[in-house]
Amino acid sequence: MLQDPRGIVPSVLLFGGSDSAGCAGLQMDLRTCAAFGVHGACVVTAVTAQSTRAVTGQLSVPASFVTLQAETVQSDLHPAAVKTGMLASSDTIEAVARFCERARPRFVVVDPVMVSTTGGLLLDPVAIEGLKRDLISRCSLVTPNLAEAEALCGRSVSSLDDMHEAAESLLALGAGAVLVKGGHLPGSAIDVFATPQGHDELHAPRSESLHTRGTGCALATAIAAALVRGLELREAVGFAKRWITRAIRSGYAVGDGSGPIDVLSQGTDPVGELPIPEPEAPTF
């Protein structure tokens, strides 16, 4: 772990669900923070029962307790960034949005988790409007995959042109920036990064690995961690894209289904490539 000039390790506050198989969700977020040399603090929004093959159940944490977890961490650690993953319900989305309004973290990265890699539904469909209104409208960056972009925009997103159009629609909601992930399109892995100033296409060779669990969680967390480490948003997105490509190549099996990517392997270690953050005055 790296320390700032005060001797404090910078932190990211992670909102998300617990994956009992340890392949995605908060478990992957925490490993990613460790890989980036920052501290991961976590607010558990839901507990899932899942393996590498299926999600068999989930239990949401009451929104009031989500708030208590977040405010308790904030009062002591003062995280510079918030990253949201599985939020599960409208009440939780509202609680997280209210917390961000009060705490005013420098960065809010929203991974709009809706469905697990194995097909389990992780967000109540009626909560999508609240996600758009309360969080995406105020975030620094939102990182939907193709299916999530379709749900958020209300139309098909099945081509590169569609990805650019979806990015514009999400910017129109108020997001500071958008990363539409095209990993499920055929061909090379192309993502579209968009800000009000323009669009970039981020290309990477496609990996044939079957073990890709946690990719979306790790990418969003990597961006948040890189921001905390001092990169500008465009730099952080590009760095995280290159890093996640290496982590996917290192994915490994732990059961009979799709295993996790490896964010802690020697080949994916990003710490020596990133700056040491400057200290900031705490808020909240």
- 241 noted as active-site residue: no
Q: Which residue in 212, 221, 245, 268 is the catalytic one?
A: 212
pLDDT at residue number 284: 34
- 216 noted as active-site residue: yes
State the SS3 of 68-81: HHHHHHHHHHCCCE
Residue 161: strand, helix, or coil: helix
CA atoms within 13 A on the CB side of 226: 25
Structure tokens at 277: 């953050």
- 181 noted as active-site residue: yes
- 214 noted as active-site residue: yes
The rounded distance, in Å, linking the Cα atoms of 227 and 231 is 5
User: Could you say which residues of the chain have pLDDT below 50?
Assistant: 279-284
pLDDT at residue number 61: 97
Q: What's the alpha-carbon Rg for the chain, to the nearest Å?
A: 17
- 245 noted as active-site residue: no
Q: For residue 14, what are the CA distances in angstroms to 32, 42, 171? A: 11, 5, 23
Q: How is 100-155 classified by DSSP, letter by letter?
A: HHHH--SEEEE----B-TTS-B-B-GGGHHHIIIIIGGG-SEE--BHHHHHHHHTS
pLDDT at residue number 275: 63
pLDDT at residue number 282: 37
Q: What angle do CA 147, 219, 198 make, to 5 degrees?
A: 75
CATH class of 11-143+214-261: alpha beta
Residue among 43, 39, 11 nearest 25 (CA):
43
Whole-prediction pTM: 0.92
State the residue for tokens 């079957």.
210
CA atoms within 13 A on the CB side of 150: 10
- 182 noted as active-site residue: no
Q: Which residue in 83, 132, 181, 241 is the catalytic one?
A: 181
pLDDT at residue number 121: 66
Q: Which residue in 215, 221, 245, 268 is the catalytic one?
A: 215
**Relative orientation angle of helices 25-35 and 215-228, to the nearest 10 degrees:** 40
